[in-house]
Structure 1
Amino acid sequence: MERAIFAGGCFWCMVKPFDEQPGIHSVVSGYTGGHVENPTYEQVKQNTTGHTEAVEILFDPALISYEELLDVYWQQTDPTDAFGQFEDRGDNYRPVIFYTTETQKLAAEKSKAELASSQRFTDPIVTTIEAAQPFYPAELYHQEYYKKDPENFARNHAKRAQFVEENWQ
């Protein structure tokens, strides 16, 4: 198994697209990139921990490549918005690809450059690519939220779903 970490706004909305892919062992909602050990949701949403909401994905590279995960990632985000994603605003919702190996870093940089040169978006691609830091799983009620409360998930996912439909399909 390999590990990938992506931040793209609300972690509730980032789980399902990866969870549905072949070769995915687990998708865990959590926090990373900050300076507070074992942060809580309440701390992170105060935007004082330096953490961003993210998902940690364990995957079988024989069944799905990191490059394929990058393709899924880009299509869940607005890569031109550095200050949050959709209705979720602030540094704790910023889009980041956290690489765990040098190979992942190079693949992420290549993927970002290809997206920028595709001219799909007129604004610059501002998603950052950063070295992975400790990942802290979120509280249990956040895990697989789309399965636990599909109606609330759909409400929280509405702007993202509209953006994806308009820009990626």
Structure 2
Amino acid sequence: MEKAIFAGGCFWCMVKPFDQFDGIEHIVSGYSGGHVENPTYEQVKSGTTGHMEVVEITFQPAVFSYEQLLDIFWQQIDPTDDEGQFQDRGPSYRAAIFVHNERQRAIAEHSKQQLEASGRFNKPVITEIRDAVPFYPAEDYHQDFHKKNPEYYKNDRAASGRDEFLSTKWDKVNV
């Protein structure tokens, strides 16, 4: 088993796209990248802790590769926006890849370079690739939000503009 950590704006919208493939064992919504131990949602949302909303994915690389995870990740975000993602603005909603080792770093850097070279976006791809730092699970009510609150999730995602934007950049998007 390996772990991957991705920040892509609202963590609610980052679970479901990954939560449909063999080899992905567990997805936890949480916080990473900040300077406060065990932050709460309210603290992170305030923008004072330095944390981002993230998902931590436990996966079997022999069944579902890190490269495949990155392909899905890029199809969930606007990698040219450093002010947040879609309707969610502020530092806790920026996109980033947190790598656990040099192999993940090399794969993530290569993937980012390929995306930049594709010409898919008319602005530079600025999503950060950072070293993994402590991950803190979010409160229980944030876990599997798309399953616990399907109508609210559907409406919030639709209102965010995420899917509308992504459909202009990708032929098929996992949502």
What residue number does 1:114 align with? Answer: 114
- Is 2:165 aligned against 1:163? yes
Percent identity over paired residues: 60
Q: Distance in 1 between matches of 2:88 and 2:155?
A: 13
Matched, 1:138 2:165: no
**Residue in structure 1 matched with residue 20 of structure 2 by the alignment:** 20
Work out the number of aligned pairs and report it.
169
Tell me by how many angstroms 1:95 deviates.
0.4
Distance 1:80 1:46 in 2: 23
**Structure whose residues are more often helix by fraction:** 1
1:51 corresponds in structure 2 to 51
Per-residue Cα deviation, 1:13-64 (whole angstroms, up to 9, x for no partner): 0000111122000000000000000000010000000000000000001101
* Map of 1:33 onto structure 2: 33
- 1:86 is aligned to 86
TM-score by length of 2: 0.95
Query: For residues 152 and 170 of structure 2, what CA distance do their matches in structure 1 show?
Result: 24
CA distance in 2, matches of 1:82, 1:12: 19
Measure, in 2, the Cα distance between the counterparts of 1:104 and 1:141: 30
- Deviating beyond 2 angstroms after TM superposition, the runs of 4 or more aligned structure 1 residues are none
- Name the amino acid aligned to 1:19: D
What RMSD over aligned residues (CA atoms) do the two structures have, in Å? 0.6
What pairs up with 1:147-158 in 2 under 5 angstroms? 147-158=147-158
CA distance in 2, matches of 1:152, 1:81: 25
Aligned to 2:75: 75
CA distance in 2, matches of 1:77, 1:115: 12
Output the CA distance in 2 between the equivalents of 1:133 and 1:160: 27
1:30 is aligned with what amino acid? G
Q: TM-score, normalised by structure 1?
A: 0.98
Quote the Cα distance in structure 2 between the aligned partners of 1:150 and 1:167: 25
State the shift of 1:4 in Å: 0.2
